Amino acid sequence: MRQRLALLGATGSIGRSCLEVLRHHPERFELVAVGALGSRLEELAAIVAEFRPRLVAVVDEAAARALGRALPAGAELVSGPDALRLAAIHPGVDRVVAAVVGAAGLPPVHAALAAGKDVALANKESLVVAGRLLTELAASTGAAIVPIDSEHVALHQALRAGRPEEVRRLVLTASGGPFLHRDPATFAAIRKDEALRHPTWSMGAKITIDSATLVNKGLELIEARWLFGIAGERVDVLVHPQSLVHSFVEWVDGSWIAQLSVNDMIFPIQYALAWPERWENEFPRLALAEFGALEFLPLDEAKFPSVALARAALASGESAPAVFNGANEVAVRAFLDERLPFPAIVDTIRAVLERHDPHPVGSLEEALGWDAWARRAAEQHLAARSLSR
């Protein structure tokens, strides 16, 4: 039987790679629902024309009206803030691909898991904001959360080599981003176009900035904690500029198991969609001999304090990772709008976390409440910062 999918964030970088995987395996999938914000309307219309989903969900109402006129007969259109949630719980959908960027992905992911639908998760922010809530919900409904993030897909595979109690630690690899070798004394002069030029991956703007600050690796540390049930102190980061080894598991006997592939998101996406199977494909093969050397370096925590900040937030209480994430989203937006210098992104997260008193997160409303609190606090911090200049 064909898998019946909802793809949320269809017009993004992960969305496009996911559609590429579907095109490689037309006999395996039916794309029942697609969702997007609505900012790339022509692209969305082309996706709808090609895949003929039964439901199209567009958050932006004006974009939805414009798209509505071009919709093929029989397709249903929903719009507004609840649109992606409706796509996630569509009765004809078995599995939801969560490829929205940011905490905006949390309500649809929560709804999918509550409805017992498996989630292939690229939207790491939802696990960062509400990790305990989502993993407990999935356990109670029997829904699976399978990662799409390449590091976590690597860990998911490497963890098949042994039992949980035999794991010593997880080692996330990090490319180091575009500023790995840049003098930190010049970080204040970093321009947006420099930060948007990632050395090894082509991705959406927000995660590309997160990769330059290494906040992305902090988010991934928290994501790993919830996906694999392992304390943050046992998740480490190793810089690997070639991005071919996607992560490692170190076992109690001193063995390491790694996973490698060409650095293209079609590999982890196919893994997530095929799991628990593994499918043949005609994707490009890894030609390791062409690379010669693979490098591994320690993370310079003084230059990139964001991983330590994320680990401390995770240890300090359940709401603190939500605050870490919300403050980061506001600061990254401000950097992309050229309202904030590069080093002030991580300074903003730190300042907002310092004002935060961590609490348990018992419901979706509480998780969204902490996200909103962090955004307000970050905006206040940015306003005070620009006044003092």
Could you list the residues that contact Mg ion (CB under 5 A)?
149-151
- CA dist 127 and 147 (Å) reads 11
Interior/surface letters 294-305, b for 16+ CB within 10 angstroms, e for the rest? eeeeebeeeebb
Instruction: Choose from ligand NAD, Mg ion, none: what does 109 bind? Cβ within 5-8 Å by kind.
Output: none
| Phi, psi dihedrals of residue 48, rounded to the nearest 5° | -65, -40
Rule CB under 6 A: is residue 125 a binding residue for ligand NAD? Answer: yes
Residues in contact with ligand NAD, counted by CB under 6 A, come to a total of 27
Q: Which of 4, 5, 6, 11 binds ligand NAD (CB under 6 A)?
A: 11
φ/ψ of residue 79, rounded to 5: -145, 170
Distances (CA, A) of 8 to 42, 44, 108: 17, 12, 9
- Tell the smallest beta-carbon distance from residue 219 to Mg ion (Å): 9
Shortest reach from residue 342's CB to Mg ion, in Å = 20
Provide the phi-psi class of 243: left if phi over 0, else alpha when psi is between -120 and 50, else beta. left
Among 18, 104, 171, 249, binds ligand NAD (CB under 6 A): 104
Residue at shortest CB range from Mg ion: 149
Q: Please give the Cα distance from 273 to 147 (Å, whole number).
A: 10
146 scored as a contact of ligand NAD (CB under 6 A): no
**167-174/3-8 β-pairing:** unpaired
Least separation in angstroms between residue 169's CB and Mg ion is 18
Distance of alpha carbon 23 from alpha carbon 327, whole angstroms: 37
Nearer to ligand NAD, 187 or 201 (CB): 201
Could you tell me which stretch among 138-146, 155-163, 204-212, 345-353 binds ligand NAD (CB under 6 A)? 204-212
Q: Which of residues 44-103 bind ligand NAD (CB under 6 A)?
A: 59, 84, 99-101
Minimum CB distance to Mg ion, residue 330 (Å) = 22
Q: Is 203 in the site for ligand NAD (CB under 6 A)?
A: yes
Q: Are 62 and 39 in contact, with CB atoms under 8 Å apart?
A: no
**Which tokens sit at 80?**
């507004």
Among 116, 204, 317, 358, binds ligand NAD (CB under 6 A): 204
- CA distances 125 to 34, 155, 267, 289, 371, Å, are 20, 18, 21, 36, 11
Taking the complex as a whole, how short is the minimal distance between the CB of residue 163 and ligand NAD, in angstroms? 28
Interactions with ligand NAD, residue window 258-287 (CB under 6 A): 265
First to last CA, the chain: 62
**Which residue in the set 4, 12, 96, 346 belongs to the binding site for ligand NAD (CB under 6 A)?**
12
Query: What does the binding site for ligand NAD look like in residue numbers (CB under 6 A)?
Result: 9-15, 36-37, 39, 59, 84, 99-101, 104, 122-125, 149, 201, 203-204, 206-207, 265
